[in-house]
Amino acid sequence: MIKNLAIVLTLLCFGSLNAQTPENFERLISKGDIPDLFVKYLEDKIAKDNEDLLDDNTISRTNAKDFSAITNYKLHQVIQSGRILYGDPLTVYANKVLDKLKESSDEDLEDIEVYTLKSNEVNAFATHQGVIFLTVGLWGQIENEAQLAYVLAHEITHIYEKHNQLSYQHTEDLIRNGRYGDDKISAYYQYSKDNEEDADKAGFKLALAAGYDATEIFGTFNVLLYSYLPIDEMKVEYSWLENEGFKVTEDFILEEIKEISPAEDVDDEYHTHPNINNRRTNVKSIYNANKSEKKEIYVVGTEEEFKATRELARFEMMNIYIRQAEYLDGIYHNLILTKSHPNNIFLARTRAMSWYGFTAHDNSDDGTVFSTSYRKKEGEIQQLYYFFNKIKDSELAAIATQQVWKTSLSNPEDDFLVKIREKTMNEFAKFSENDITNFATEIIESVEEEEVEVDESKLSKYDKIAKKRKKETEEDFTYYALLDIVDKQEFVDAYDKAKKENKEKDEEEEEYENLDGPQENTMDVNNLIMISPNYYKQDNRISINKNVDKNDLNETRLINLVKENADRLDINISFIDNFKDPEFDTDAYNEFSLLYDYLGERSQY
């Protein structure tokens, strides 16, 4: 059963082309002319790279062609994922810092460029072609411009020191020399760590040369150390969930949350990066020699400009959490942002989306299992994971319905929230426990219990009913969850509609499953929007570069085959990601990126 849960697409269609602020935020989009890197043919990229590597003494000519083919292919895949941003506020700011670093270096860094990758992982990486990617998650965690400069300076070092080429050559040498076992593996990881330490040192010096403060640069290691945590540590309280009758009881609250204890000195023998303690030690002499000299935290921008840009990254993180079906992390992230932006409509929408997605994902037969495991979580977010780990599926649906409806009723003019509350109601109505007659419309007043034992034979019928009902409601966690909502006529109507739709859907699916034999194709389609297929086959009998060439050729053949069959069926077909089309521009790229977000979110179910 495929669920139509593509809520990202609906929300993102609200997108604005105006300058983005938290008040009008919808999503980050690319702006300006589309870079050549995006539209240049893969075979042309490989050919140019092959020519450039002819005079590169860091890699043998034997390995250069394979290195060029696989790295350009991987870069091609990243670019055509729809997850890269250019011309957006994050990338624009990063490019200003990059320009300052270029001015401050003796190396030829003219061809290096930076882009933003839509990922909540705290990461940055560089390719040997001179392309640096900074993730949205990294932007969300760094504290100031000096730290941004150090991250860029570190990646710049990897490029001009040709660490990618050297690492590839080193690995191929290990394989060719027949060194198998722990000694080969250890040598591989040690070589990688050596390169990282070189980049840390040279990057630190470059950031200093650009005018950034040593203490702030050194603080980047703290950001990396705690990067597995949310953007802030905020105590989880449930007042936003509770009402006069519905309270989160001690059964759902951890007595003690796990202390934050990052692995500062973890054994890094089989890691590509040194642990944080070793990285600090590696640059300590540079830091000590410069820490007394007061330099700048902000060189190309102001503190206000940096924080405003970072806030946009933190807002974009909500879109990514939903796309990746990381709903619990998204709810906690939303709570943090809502504290500073209490009436923000984007946060209201994404909060509703997270609750709907959470309960819909939980009810999905085909979705991957959503983990609410709390034991390894650290800090306040563990409390939230514990709560959702303990509640039942029907209770989750009831609480999600409460949250979505409260949000929608607080924003009655927002059509998107109305759509989400309807979808959430469909999930709520699937549970027999969630019959609306099982939820209180008002607080049941109870008489103080007598200290002496009551003779039940002397109780009236109504006293017995009240006593029985009181006992039941004390045991029913969500009995009061929909107080002030469940008695609204629009809620009752929505519930009845959802029950009817769920029943019809179940009957349709049962009828479909009982069909026997081939069925007549009744599809009447005149137009199709498609995404280019990704063809990959690994033939170990030939070289990597020949594999890449064959895959690229077969991918083109597959696209042409689809077009030919569409013509035979008189179907107008449009490839939304046709990067080879001369008309493909930034507007087309943004549409393609939007569709990929839609497909990425839908694929979670």
pLDDT reported for residue 313: 99
**No. of H helices and E strands in the chain?**
22, 6
Predicted pLDDT of residue 541? 82
Residue type, 336: I
In a domain, 374, yes or no: no
Kindly state whether residue 398 falls inside one of the protein's structural domains: yes
Element (H, E) at 225: helix 220-225
* DSSP state at residue 605: -
Same domain, 505 and 406: yes
- For residue 100, being part of any structural domain is answered with yes
pLDDT confidence of residue 547: 83
532 and 578, same domain (yes or no): yes
User: Residue 349 and residue 347: Cα distance in Å, rounded?
Assistant: 5
- Per-residue pLDDT at 3: 39
463 domain-assigned: no
Look at residue 296 and give its three-state secondary structure.
strand
Residues 299 and 421 in one domain: no
CA–CA gap between residue 77 and residue 42 (Å, rounded) = 10
Residue 560, judged by CB atoms within 10 A of its CB (0-12, 13-18, 19+), counts as exposed
Shared-domain flag, residues 475 and 552: no
Q: Is residue 164 domain-shared with residue 220, that is, in the same domain?
A: yes
Regions in the chain scoring below 50 on pLDDT: 1-17, 447-452, 462, 466, 473
| The pLDDT value given to residue 178 | 63
- φ/ψ of 213, rounded to 5, equals -75, 135
Q: Give Cα separations from 207 to 112, 292, 513 (angstroms).
A: 16, 16, 64
Gap between the Cα atoms of 248 and 160, Å rounded = 56
Are 153 and 302 within one domain?
A: yes
Decide: helix, strand or coil at residue 429.
coil
Write down the residue that tokens 């009845």 correspond to.
496
Contact residues for 304 (Cβ-Cβ < 8 A; gap 6+): none
Q: Could you give the count of Cα atoms lying within 13 Å of 541 in the half-sphere of its Cβ?
A: 1
Other CB atoms within 10 A of residue 526 CB? 8
* 593 touches 86 (CB < 8 A): no
Q: Which of these three, 456, 485, 512, is where a domain ends?
A: 512
Which of 512, 542, 572 is the C-terminal boundary of a domain?
512
- What pLDDT score does 13 carry? 47
**Contact between 590 and 17 (Cβ < 8 Å):** no
In a domain, 14, yes or no: no
Q: In terms of residue numbers, what domain contains 587?
A: 527-604
The reply to whether 165 and 189 lie within a common domain is yes
Structure token digits, residue 219: 């603080």
Q: How far is CA 337 from the centre of its chain?
A: 16
Q: In Å, how far are 175, 185, 410, 431 from 66, measured between CA atoms?
A: 15, 21, 58, 56
DSSP 8-class letter at 212: B
Q: Domain check: are 159 and 303 in the same one?
A: yes
Say if strands 572-575 and 527-530 run parallel, antiparallel, or are unpaired. Answer: parallel
pLDDT of residue 536: 78
CA 99 to chain centre: 28
The answer on 409 and 550 residing in a single domain is no
CB of 28 closer than 8 Å to CB of 85: yes
- Total domains in the chain come to 3
The whole model's pTM is what? 0.89
pLDDT at residue 459 in the model: 56
Residues 416 and 311 grouped into a single domain: no
Of 296, 323, 350, the position where a domain reaches its end is: 323
Lookup: tokens for 129: 């072609």
Show Cβ contacts of residue 54 under 8 Å, excluding neighbours closer than 6 positions: 61, 64
Strand 113-117 to 84-85 pairing: antiparallel
The answer to whether residues 318 and 332 belong to one domain is no
pLDDT at 453: 54
In a domain, 239, yes or no: no
Of the candidates 408, 412, 440, which has an alpha carbon nearest to the alpha carbon of residue 425? Answer: 408
- Same structural domain, 220 and 344: no
Q: Is residue 259 part of a domain?
A: no
The pLDDT value recorded for residue 211 is 98
- Measured CA to CA, the distance from residue 88 to residue 81 in angstroms comes to 17
Q: Is there a domain that residue 26 lies in?
A: no
What sections of 13-112 are H helices per DSSP?
36-39, 42-53, 61-79, 89-103
CA distance 423 to 364: 13
**Residue 113 pairs with which residues in a beta bridge?**
131
Is the CB of residue 421 less than 8 Å from the CB of residue 348? no
